[in-house]
Amino acid sequence: MPYSIMLDAGHGGSDPGATYQGRKEADDALRLTLAVGEILQNHGFDVEYTRTTDVYESPFQKAMEANEAGVDFFVSIHRNSYPVDNEVSGVESLVYDLSGIKYEMAQNINEQLENVGFVNLGVKARPNLIVLKRTKMPAVLVEVGFINSDIDNQLFDDNFYDIAGAIADGIMDTLKKPGMSTDMQYRVQVGAYRNRRYAEQLLNELIAQDYPAFLEEGNGFFRVQVGEYPILQEAVDMERRLKMAGYPTIIVS
């Protein structure tokens, strides 16, 4: 089965993102996102987009779209901005927390972009960003240089296709690792009940705490499960979080 990925060009429509001397983040993000998608498609990926034109959609809508599509990965492409023009340059990637395959993917993308000539500003945890927090699958947001850095803009324009290739390579590098398989999906099970009401109570409690929880019905049981992870380590990380919050858990596949 091919990997599926949803690519998200940041901002769009009524939201231009950061701007600098008439240049709009939303435009750079869209052009680059489509180029990355074309490369991934040529490598057998099942590629979907949150937008392919200059339209606005809220980050929450984007996250829900990815969840509904049930893609394996979510990568959002942006350009960065700093309060003072030409003060900072480089690439930076953001993830929900510094663990699992999303963290590896973010590091690989940064390294590939560093090879093209960007300064590597590293990977940062941003647990409050909606597209990272509300997506059920591993998600990375890449800030491809600062839009108010002339150095970064020149790099962006002169090496556009290398940059698109670097992001695609960063994504693919991550998936070449042994033990990676999409045939298997791991979930963390927090409870199994005969009584639907008990299951729904636990489900609502987990959702209220922003866990990507859902109800699975079968063989007379209502199972409350969290996440859907292509590699075991992701499920192990989530299990640790749930255990620390006091929930009894098992990993199921």
Q: What is the binding site for Zn ion (CB under 5 A)?
A: 10, 17, 78
The candidate with the shortest Cα–Cα distance to 229, out of 137, 154, 150, 112, is: 137
* Residues 14, 38: Cα–Cα separation, whole Å: 26
Q: Which two tokens stand for residue 141?
A: 């947001």
Closest distance to Zn ion from the beta carbon of 82 (Å): 13
In the complex, what is the shortest distance from the CB of residue 125 to Zn ion, in angstroms, rounded to a whole number?
Answer: 17
6 versus 238: smaller Cβ distance to Zn ion: 6
CB of 15 to Zn ion, least distance (A): 9
- Alpha-carbon separation of residue 246 from 188, 190, 238, 240, 242 (angstroms): 14, 10, 13, 10, 6
Residues 6 or more apart whose CB falls under 8 angstroms from that of 6 comprise 47, 48, 49, 50, 65, 66, 69, 71, 73, 74, 75
By beta-carbon distance, which residue lies closest to Zn ion? 78
Q: Counting beta carbons within 10 angstroms of the beta carbon of residue 127, is it exposed (0 to 12), middle (13 to 18) or buried (19 or more)?
A: exposed
Look up residue 146 and give its amino acid.
Answer: F
Task: Give the nearest distance from C-beta 10 to Zn ion in angstroms.
Answer: 4
Return the number of the residue (146 or 211) whose C-beta is nearest Zn ion: 146
Contact indicator for 147, 11 with CB cutoff of 8 Å: no
- Tell the smallest beta-carbon distance from residue 253 to Zn ion (Å): 36
Name the residue nearer to Zn ion (CB basis): 66 or 190: 66
Torsion sign across C-alpha atoms 116, 118, 122, 125: negative
Least distance to Zn ion, CB of residue 78, Å = 3
Distance separating alpha carbons of residues 122 and 113, to the nearest angstrom: 11
10 versus 145: smaller Cβ distance to Zn ion: 10
Alpha-helical (H) ranges within the chain are: 25-42, 59-69, 100-116, 130-133, 150-158, 160-175, 196-208, 232-244
Q: Which is nearer to Zn ion, 10 or 37 (CB)?
A: 10
Residue nearer to Zn ion on the CB measure, 123 or 224: 123
Q: How far apart are CA 145 and CA 152, in angstroms?
A: 5
CB of residue 25 vs Zn ion: minimum separation in angstroms?
A: 5
User: Which CB, 51 or 187, lies closer to Zn ion?
Assistant: 51
